[in-house]
Chain A
Amino acid sequence: MHGRPRKAPKPEDLAAFSAKAEKLRILQSQFLSNHHQKIYTREAVELSAKLLEINPECYTAWNYRKLAVQHSLFESNLDPDAVNSIFNDELLVIENALRQNFKSYGAWYHRKWVLNKGHSSIENELRLLDKLQNVDPRNFHAWNYRRFVAALLNRSDEDELNHTQDLIDKNISNYSAWHNRSVLLSSLMKKKVQAFSRKDEVLIREYELVRDAVFTDEDDQSGWFYHLWLLDQTVKSESPLLTSSWPAHGSDITLSGDRYLDLGSSPFNTYHFDSGSLPLILYFNQAVEGVNVSTVTVSSGFNVNMDVIWKPILLNNSKTSHVWVGQLKLPKVELDSLGAYTLEVTLGHSQGIISSGGFHYSHPSHFSFTVHVQPAKKEPVDGFGSEKISWRDENFHIYEPDSLESDLALPLDHLSIKNERELSDSSWQAKIIDEEISNFRELLDCKIGKLTLARLLTARDALVSSDKSIHSEEVLRLYSELMKLDPPHSQFYKDEHSLILFEKVISGRESLLSYCFRYRNLTSSSSSNPICLRLNGLSLSRLGSFEKLLWVQMLDLSHNELRSIEGLEAMQLLSHLNLSKNKLGSFTSLESLRHLKSIKVLDISYNEIGAHSVDTTRYLCSSPLSHSIGSEWDGSEIVTDGVSLVSYWEAFFILKGLKLTQLDITGNAIADEKFTAFLAEVLPALKWLDGVQLN
């Protein structure tokens, strides 16, 4: 019961209620009896009308009336007058029912059903709707019905757009009218109807309209979401683009490992080569499908056919991905002899790469890099990766490039692939956004003003294809102010803040280098000193900008406030990951790990795994629950002594395919003795668990 006050009824009302109830009950049972016996006499049909007038939600009675209509049509011999009167009766019953309950699904559908039969005047319907929408301009049944009627009448989208304009002029806070406007405008722009073919002109008009709404009453949400949509329309590029790759354009990759000599080259570009193939990683600005040998060409100085098998990093049942990985098999002959080989990758020269929105990759792109090989004839030694890793501070030393290395490390500045087309398009976009920025600087005493400005500035920075974010300081300040201004949503602003901070930290050579450390364990015999990106203790609650971090193999994110590592699956080279002391609440929040096949060392100690009854990533993770794993899983696969899968299915599905050698899990509610026994079962390659060597 909505909006009815809670009070004990008076005795005299009680009697009236019970009489009313009795009357309704008799009606309902008579009606059901007629329905079951298929009685469609005038009296029986009128009884159903009476019932629906009191209780329009009685869906079976609407079904009955449809049967009755079919019956009388059959009896009428399709005499036009008789047919008309049959349907007019229905329209009347519906109007009475709607008067009783304007939100009755059954009544509205019955009306559609009648209209679809094609015997009733449609013109009346718009008049009726105008009357009803005057009383309740937000009723979504009426709006749905309006779209239905407009289609029957073949009303143009322009006419309906004007109708939304009228309603907005009448009441600027009619969210339903704004919504319908967005639907109509999307359709008009897509169809490129005359007055809507220039996107920039349409957007400028709409910005002006919605600005009125936002500035009239800044607490009224009607214009908020519309403005954000316009901004999205302004900056969004339709066709997908390659944003970055590994190896990066112009980079020199040195193979390392048991069989290769250390050339003393930059550790940023050293790849531990032990599987016989070199990964190629493509990162697109939109999820795409269709990356394969015919859409991406890899050619090399080896002068051999480079057949690369491309695989997407698929989350859940998606068919498209931002990230595609190709395995490049290097010919054995080349690997055994000293040399440098340049590889060229081109894509976009033929159609086939398509975004999830259905747009083709249409700007040919190209990048190249060089692979250096210096084979060594030596026996395998116990190198990096086979001994215990300690994440203690004293094992990390700030990275100081010597002159040679600083040259070789340069690809850091060329991580993103520039696209000329994008730059030339962006001039009108920049103009619109600059205009909006100056408008919203006038509205800084309220939350929507600050939030919109922060979004506009972020969008403006993204238009400039450089690693420098000019406005990031100001945006960070705005989000900090919003956290104080609007405490119930502070975590939303905190996450936005975190994304901007993260990007700021890893963008630009100076900044990034100050977070790069050499790992050097003094007690170790290994001579390898890999680079670790240490982004610990920054109070990050969210990560982003993964396209700039494809090169990272060792990452420390400990002592932050992460609840999820969504997006980390792009970092395909990761072999060492520290997530200790965050707010990870479940194994399902580690879904990305399932796609990081190189991970060997993982620290998830001191999180909140097992501490919550609600799992916020339960359905974002691949499992039988989301029907994204399951057909191949028969349930009998695991289940060790006394451990049922019901309790640990999350850990099972996340960890099963990993080849972890070292895992730290202590300090989580789930990590009791039973669970660690289960881990040893699921992770047969594990050598170290919580610092203790396993047998």
Chain B
Amino acid sequence: MGELVVDKHVKYILSVEKRKDSFESVVLEHLRMNGVYWGLTTLDLLGKLDALDSNEVIQWIMKCQHESGGFAGNIGHDPHLLYTLSAVQVLALFDKLNVLDADRVANYISGLQNVDGSFSGDEWGEVDTRFSYLAICCLSILHRLDKMNVEKAVNYIVSCKNVDGGFGCTPGGESHAGQIFCCVGALAITGSLHHVDKDLLGWWLCERQVKSGGLNGRPEKLPDVCYSWWVLSSLIMIDRVHWINKDKLVKFILNCQDTENGGISDRPEDAVDVFHTYFGVAGLSLLEYPGLKAIDPAHALPVDVVNRIFFQK
């Protein structure tokens, strides 16, 4: 194990943009908006956001916006909450939220709330607590949380709480660390963490750490770098992160780096991608790894960006 190879990761992220013709990038074309968010947030955490032209990115983002106000994963695709949050987050990174008609975006989002308080991901009606998080986080960044029925949204999330303290996609769904992040994050942003049994969930989450030091997403599953984010941020939001061994997790993440070509993978020696590079670096930031900007565990943006949104009026 070595240190975090910052320059190699920066080079890797910048190169992904250029390799548009690989099979992977074609397969993932529809979620490029997420990719841009993962890549650019990583760059910002590494202190290298200025390595690319922000105007070009912003122009591309705005080409993904639909009349409805929602954003698509790429030009020509349909709008969805998944990409609307990413688009807003990237604009926040660049301090360019002013290019948006915030009310239009907010109307798109609040229009997706159902009578039971849940959210559909788009007009086709799939319901999932992931979408509740996306809607809440996005409206929070836009200072438009009052556009939705927060009380009902919170009650729906609470109805997805399980006896192990975790949360599922819909009522009755099994607890999963990614889903827990979404629900805990949504409750955090709405001042509703009193609905979480912090000790019970904290124990479930800290038991995600396996012998190698890595974290898995559910009991009896393999560890994966992406859970460094989902599990850690949840543990931080409920003030139980000291229940895991941070040093061992740092080592696990660093072991998943491609020290030659940059990038981070799910497990040591696997192929790297932007998704895991982001979750690895964000995880290290949550572990207070030296030299990285701090990241906000609920809004999933650097702390300075979030503080700018909320305290610099």
Interface residue ranges, A against B (CB under 8 Å): 1-7, 17-18, 20-22, 24-25, 28, 32, 35-36, 55, 57-60, 62-63, 66, 105, 109, 112-113, 138, 140, 143-144, 147, 173, 175-176, 179-180, 182-183, 186, 220-222, 224-226, 228-229, 232, 287, 315-318, 320, 487-489, 491-492, 495, 563-564, 566, 589, 612-614, 616-620, 622-628, 634-636, 644-646, 649
Contact = CB atoms under 8 A, between A and B. Distances in A.
A7 B271 CA distance: 7
Contacts of A3: 266-267, 270
A636 B207 CA distance: 45
Given A59-B78, A492-B240, A619-B189, 19 more contacts: A1-B24, A1-B273, A17-B23, A18-B23, A21-B26, A25-B21, A28-B26, A35-B76, A180-B174, A221-B207, A228-B164, A232-B163, A489-B243, A563-B242, A620-B193, A620-B238, A625-B189, A627-B140, A644-B312
Nearest to A58: B30
Contacts of A32: 76-77
Contacts of B236: 614, 616, 618
Given A17-B22, A627-B145, A2 B266 contact: yes
A646 B308 contact: yes
B220 interface: yes
B250 to A, nearest CB: 13
Contacts of A58: 30
Contacts of A626: 188-191, 193
Given A6-B271, A66-B124, A221-B207, A59 B174 contact: no
8 contacts: A4-B271, A6-B269, A18-B23, A143-B174, A318-B194, A614-B236, A616-B242, A617-B239
B79 to A, nearest CB: 10
A624 B238 CA distance: 18
Interface string B162-179: 111000111011111000
B1 interface: no
Given A2-B224, A635-B313, A649-B311, A183 B162 contact: yes
A610 B64 CA distance: 41
Contact of A60 (B78, B163, B190, B266): B78
A71 B198 CA distance: 50
A5 B248 contact: no
A315 B194 contact: yes
Contact of A627 (B77, B124, B164, B190): B190
A179 B162 contact: yes
For B192, B213, B248, the residue with the greatest tally of chain A CB atoms inside 10 Å of its CB is: B192
A595 B294 CA distance: 29
Interface residues of B, number: 92
Nearest to B310: A624
Greatest chain A CB density within 10 A among B125, B242, B286 is at: B242
Contacts of A646: 307-308, 311-312
Given A59-B80, A316-B192, A646-B312, A619 B237 contact: yes
Interface of B: 21-27, 29-31, 72-73, 76-78, 80, 122, 124-126, 128, 140, 145, 150, 162-164, 168-170, 172-176, 188-194, 200, 202-204, 206-207, 209, 213, 218-221, 224, 236-245, 248, 258, 265-267, 269-273, 276, 285-288, 294, 296-298, 303, 306-308, 310-313
Nearest to A33: B76
Nearest to A321: B194
Contacts, number: 237
Nearest to A499: B199
Contacts of B240: 492, 616
A225 B204 contact: yes
B286 A614 contact: yes
Nearest to B258: A6
* Chain A to chain B: the 7 pairs with minimum beta-carbon distance, closest first: A628-B191, A619-B188, A488-B245, A317-B191, A221-B219, A626-B191, A316-B191
Q: Identify whether the interface residues of A are mostly helix, strand, loop, or mixed.
A: helix
A138 B216 CA distance: 14
A221 B220 contact: yes
Name, among A487, A617, A626, the residue most crowded by chain B CB atoms within 10 Å (CB to CB). A626
Nearest to B76: A32
Given A59-B80, A620-B193, A489 B140 contact: no
B69 to A, nearest CB: 17
B231 to A, nearest CB: 13
Contacts of A589: 239
A620 B239 contact: yes
Nearest to A541: B242
Most buried by A among B128, B241, B310: B310
Given A179-B162, A316-B193, A1 B271 contact: yes
A41 B25 CA distance: 29
Contacts of B30: 57-60
B242 A63 contact: no
Contacts of A105: 126, 128
Nearest to B248: A488
Contact of A220 (B162, B220, B221, B288): B220
B170 A144 contact: yes
Contacts of B265: 1, 6
Contacts of B24: 1
A35 B220 CA distance: 42
Nearest to B313: A635
Nearest to A228: B200
A316 B239 CA distance: 15
Contact of A613 (B202, B213, B294): B294
B291 to A, nearest CB: 11
A105 B242 CA distance: 34
Nearest to A629: B191
B242 A491 contact: yes
Contacts of A495: 243
Contacts of B276: 1
B184 to A, nearest CB: 9
A144 to B, nearest CB: 5
Contacts of A232: 163
Contacts of B126: 105, 109, 112
A564 B27 CA distance: 47
A20 B26 CA distance: 10
Contacts of A175: 174, 218-220
Given A4-B271, A487-B245, A618-B296, A612 B288 contact: yes
Given A1-B273, A620-B239, A60 B77 contact: yes
Contacts of B175: 179
Contacts of A613: 285, 288, 294, 303
Contacts of B245: 487-489
A140 B172 contact: no
A646 B313 CA distance: 10
B191 A627 contact: yes
Contact of A614 (B224, B288, B308, B310): B288
Given A617-B239, A620-B193, A646-B307, A229 B173 contact: no
A21 B27 CA distance: 8
